A and B are shown apart, each in its own frame.
Chain A
Amino acid sequence: MSEKVRVGFYALTSCYGCQLQMAMMDEILHLLDKVGIECWFMVERNSEEDREVDIAFIEGSVSTQEEIELVKKIREKAKIVIAVGSCAIHGGVQSWDKDKEFNELWKTVYGDAHVKFEPKMAEPVEKYIKVDYKLYGCPPEKKDFLYALGTLLIGSWPEDIDYPVCVECRLRGNPCILIEKGEPCLGPITTAGCDARCPSYGIPCIGCRGAVKDVAWFDSLALEFKRKGLTKEEILERVKIFNAYNPKLEEMVNKIFKEGE
């Protein structure tokens, strides 16, 4: 490749943990002769959001009117849009209580403080623009970032991860804390890639990488949790931490509690 691949990294409402994770990678240095950074305020002072790019990485949830405009602009200027992290992909933890009144949530966090922007409920980027690829996680794994970039650099397309955390948990040889201790582990419905980090420490997965696309069986897991003594509210509360926008969640969990009650 003679011409440099132009990339941009844009932040919406988030903790900046995703871009920090990426900016801290030593491997970034290998990229400098292949990649031109058009916009990435964290690492490049000479950044501009208006430039055309080949790959746009977007972090954060869409939480203000300005951000709606920004993502639309990014989409227009970018060939490939990659949503980075749980905020951009699923709306993030800030969407946990999305079914509550927005004003109520606002008051809880900011009280009567005045802000210069027009706030709204946090939403996933995909709600406004087409997203071509996703780097799951809170924050995403370094290796997933390298894999996606490496694959795009050879002109191929990276594979999506469509299997659950349990697979990696088994490959690592962990015991299963859901079976053994009845812990409410969300591994069976959560997108793999973290190498089952939490269960490996004996901590149940809270689903930070989001539910596996189309094959998250919330109903079957709810049934198993119900057998272990969890209530519907407890289950929904837990699964919603990172999946509040999942269109199937509530319906599938409700089904289980309607059936057996």
Chain B
Amino acid sequence: MYINGVIELRYVKLPKENTYEFLERLKEWGVLYAPVKISEKFYDFREIDDVRKIEFKYNRTIMPPKKFFFLPKEKIFEFSISKAEYNEVIENVEPFIVFGVHACDIFGLKIMDTIYLDELPDKYYKVRREKGIIIGISCVPDEYCFCNLRETDFADDGFDLFLHELPDGWLVRVGTPKGHRIVDKNIKLFEEVTTQDVCEFREFENKKHQMFKYHEDWGNLRYLLEMEMEHPMWDEQSELCLACGNCNLTCPTCRCYEVQDIPNLDGDTGVRIRRWDSCQLRSHGLVAGNHNFRPTKKSRFMNRYLCKNSYNEKLGISYCVGCGRCTYFCPAEISFVENLRTILGVKDNSCPPEVAEEMPKRGFAYSSSMGGEE
């Protein structure tokens, strides 16, 4: 419901005992996807048949939710050389629901939107984004999470519904007109939010905040990364790297893709496909004339750190949303967070830890003519 273009804020409560019923009803809106356990330790979003298989308390999925909108591999057009033409292959996408998206991943999608929807929309991404219903779920951090430092630990938009865990159910925030319709259609499953629920919500958020492993200021990270190009961390850590690409391919905000033309045997027609790419691969920096603008493993390693920590101006956050995947899923056990902390100087100090007393105050900022007064 829009009132003067502003969405009417609405909170409802889904009692615990109605959870599975609600999930079952969601299937009326399209194919339901949600996190399930796919192996001993790992989770992924999969199509849901039995709603009781859904994992409400998963740490992170091996594939980020961008996989529903920006497909890992897809055909983009068919071509004919003799006719000098091409036809885009835009699938007819049926509505679907992605249930159980964590706050960091919702920010991940918002970042993807700034790339693939704003300005020059990517048709393939757009058709899927329009058909996808996003339902968020609250979570608590494990040792790999650092979304608090990225200010992506709490999403207040970017979803149709968001379920916040309460001891006896879920506090549901409605985020879009479609979210309203879903609630309205199932209104019998919901209750009103009580003062007690609000207290529980606060309690959950407080606890969650305390559970984060790192509580520190990352404000000057971007500066430091750019200034510490000669830091020994780069050599040491890139030595360990397998250049396998897992860090990029599991990242919710990596958006690079590689295209390839596959001709048919008729010597005329063919298809162009694209797949997720990784800047850890040699070919990512390869350009005409066999020139590579990132010729070494180290330069490729550094590129990811700089790219992920650059600033998405539209959203005012960094491209890294702190989900922890690139560390958790790195086969070489390289810790992205710890490496950033090394650069920040919160781990091993590359500079004296404290500003010396006798630091000369000679800069222009200290001159008496600054600031006008005096």
* B50 to A: closest C-beta gap in Å: 19
* B330 to A: closest C-beta gap in Å: 8
Q: Is B266 among interface residues, defined by CB-CB distance under 8 A?
A: yes
Given A163-B283, A171-B72, A180-B39, A224 and B242 contact (CB-CB distance below 8 Å): yes
CB closest chain-B residue, reference A31 = B265
A214–B265 CB distance below 8 A: no
Contact with B along A132-147 (1 / 0, CB 8 A): 0000000000000011
Given A166-B246, A215-B243, A176 and B268 contact (CB-CB distance below 8 Å): no
A154–B62 CB distance below 8 A: no
Interchain residue pairs with CB less than 8 A apart (14): A151-B261, A170-B246, A170-B249, A170-B276, A171-B72, A175-B39, A175-B41, A176-B331, A180-B39, A180-B40, A220-B332, A221-B242, A223-B332, A224-B331
Q: Is A244 among interface residues, defined by CB-CB distance under 8 A?
A: no
Q: Give Cα A89 to B82, complex, Å.
A: 35
* A36 to B: closest C-beta gap in Å: 14
Contact with B along A151-165 (1 / 0, CB 8 A): 101101001001110
Q: Which residues of A contact B276 (CB under 8 A)?
A: 170-171
A151–B267 CB distance below 8 A: no
Q: Is A83 among interface residues, defined by CB-CB distance under 8 A?
A: no
A154–B263 CB distance below 8 A: yes
A153–B241 CB distance below 8 A: no
Given A163-B283, A223-B240, A150 and B263 contact (CB-CB distance below 8 Å): yes
Q: Which residues of A contact B (CB under 8 A)?
A: 1, 27, 30-31, 34, 146-147, 149-151, 153-154, 156, 159, 162-164, 166-167, 170-173, 175-176, 178-181, 187-189, 214-215, 217, 219-221, 223-224, 227
Q: Give Cα A178 to B41, complex, Å.
A: 12
A188–B244 CB distance below 8 A: yes
Interface of B is mostly: loop
* A215 to B: closest C-beta gap in Å: 5
B331–A178 CB distance below 8 A: yes
Q: Which residues of A contact B333 (CB under 8 A)?
A: 224, 227
CB interface residues, B 331-348, toward A, < 8 Å: 331-333
Q: Which residues of A contact B281 (CB under 8 A)?
A: 162-163, 167, 215
* B68 to A: closest C-beta gap in Å: 12
Contact with A along B236-279 (1 / 0, CB 8 A): 00011111111001100000000011111111101000011010
CB closest chain-B residue, reference A161 = B283
Q: Is B73 among interface residues, defined by CB-CB distance under 8 A?
A: yes
Tally of contact residues, B, Cβ under 8 A: 44
Contact with A along B22-48 (1 / 0, CB 8 A): 000000000000000011111010000
A179–B331 CB distance below 8 A: yes
Given A150-B264, A151-B263, A181 and B278 contact (CB-CB distance below 8 Å): no
Q: Which residues of B contact A (CB under 8 A)?
A: 38-42, 44, 62-63, 67, 72-73, 81, 239-246, 249-250, 260-268, 270, 275-276, 278, 281-283, 297, 329-333
B331–A166 CB distance below 8 A: yes
Q: Give Cα A166 to B275, complex, Å.
A: 14
B278–A167 CB distance below 8 A: yes
B244–A166 CB distance below 8 A: yes
Q: Give Cα A167 to B244, complex, Å.
A: 7
B265–A162 CB distance below 8 A: no
Q: Give Cα A227 to B242, complex, Å.
A: 14
Q: Which residues of A contact B239 (CB under 8 A)?
A: 219-220
Select which of B39, B260, B263, B329 is within 8 A of A153 by beta carbon.
B263
Given A1-B267, A30-B266, A179-B331, A187 and B244 contact (CB-CB distance below 8 Å): yes
Select which of B242, B270, B278 is within 8 A of A188 by beta carbon.
B242
Given A171-B72, A189-B242, A215 and B297 contact (CB-CB distance below 8 Å): yes
A167–B267 CB distance below 8 A: no
Q: Give Cα A156 to B268, complex, Å.
A: 12
CB closest chain-A residue, reference B72 = A171
Q: A163-B282, A170-B246 are in contact. List 9 more A-B contacts (CB 8 A).
A: A149-B265, A151-B262, A166-B245, A167-B281, A170-B72, A172-B72, A176-B331, A179-B331, A220-B332
Given A31-B265, A154-B267, A173 and B243 contact (CB-CB distance below 8 Å): no
